[in-house]
Amino acid sequence: MKIFIDSADLDEIAQGFAWGVVDGVTTNPSLLKMAVEKRVKTGESLDLKAYITRILEVAGKTPVSLEVTEYSAGGMIRQGERLYELFNPVAENVVIKIPVNPAFKDRDATHFDGIKAIQALAQKGIPVNCTLIFTPEQAFLAAKAGAAFVSPFAGRIDDDLRKKARIRFDKTDYFPAEGMENNGDILEDNGITSGIDLVQQCVYIIEQYGFKTEVLAASLRNPRQVRESAIVGAHIATLPFNVIKDMLKHHKTYEGMESFTADIVPEYVDLTSN
């Protein structure tokens, strides 16, 4: 399973790549806002074009998703093309992120605008990451339209299941992959019993029918969800920087370091130092 870093923070992205474990980057408008605000807070004047260019350079040849902010098919296609034209020459690694269904309650986008935009961009050879996927059938249609990646939002499904059942939780709290029982019933949303279940169903459909699309498990909030994404065969997991760091932590590892360090014999150190 590949690991992408889910961040628009250049420092985090650079560190992730320096560690040699990151295979790509995903951004979204909220992540970009956070990164911009962080820079502005330090008094830095921000040239957004130069900033995004730097992210693309740091990512090298690995895919970097940049999300559109338009919501009509025409608007998303134009903006996707513009982003691609502007930034793909930097490192040939731009992927355009398109919401599977950008309809709003009170705006005029149609439910198929996302699918239309995916198809138009894919036909022009522009890779698309289809985002905001909450059902396997959304992933299926996005794959049919030619999306290179589909992003099921595991954590937000878990949030939704708990919220509807009025269960209190923190954003990073683990939600069991096999589902959560509440008053004798397993919580579910139209047959989806957890975020990992959503990822698994997407992987199953994509692989069953031989799509080239990769399932990019998104909205993962803790290391155990990363493990479970790998177990159910997600092709990629996109992770906040903190989750990548947390994947290495274990109290027994710390404890082992303490005891091994206490037992080091000086002769061994002499032998192995210059």
> Residue 15 and residue 58: Cα distance in Å, rounded?
10
Q: What share of the chain is helix, strand, coil (3-state, %, to 5)?
A: 50, 15, 35
Give me 115's structure tokens: 């699918």
Which residues of the chain form contacts with ligand E4P (CB under 6 A)?
Answer: 6, 26, 28, 151, 153, 155-156, 218-219, 221, 238
Q: Which residue is nearest to ligand E4P (CB)?
A: 219
Q: How far is the CB of 271 from ligand E4P (least distance, A)?
A: 48
Q: Which of 2, 38, 61, 97 is catalytic?
A: 97
Backbone φ and ψ for 265, nearest 5 degrees, come out as: -90, 135
We find the least distance from the C-beta atom of residue 36 to ligand E4P, in angstroms, to be: 16
Single-letter code of the amino acid located at 6: D
Distance of alpha carbon 63 from alpha carbon 140, whole angstroms: 22
Active site residue 97: yes
The DSSP output letter for 220 is -
Helix H segments across the chain? Answer: 10-18, 29-41, 48-59, 73-91, 113-123, 136-145, 154-164, 195-208, 223-231, 241-246, 251-262, 266-272
DSSP state of 247: T
User: How large is the angle between the packed helices 29-41 and 48-59, nearest 10 degrees?
Assistant: 110
Residue 254, Cα to own-chain centre: how many angstroms? Answer: 29
- Which residues make beta-bridge pairs with 130? 98, 150
Sorted by sequence, the CB contacts under 8 Å of residue 29 that are 6+ apart come out as 67, 69
Q: Of 223 and 263, which CB lies nearer to ligand E4P in the complex structure?
A: 223
Nearer to ligand E4P, 99 or 136 (CB): 99
Nearer to ligand E4P, 119 or 238 (CB): 238
Catalytic residue set = 97
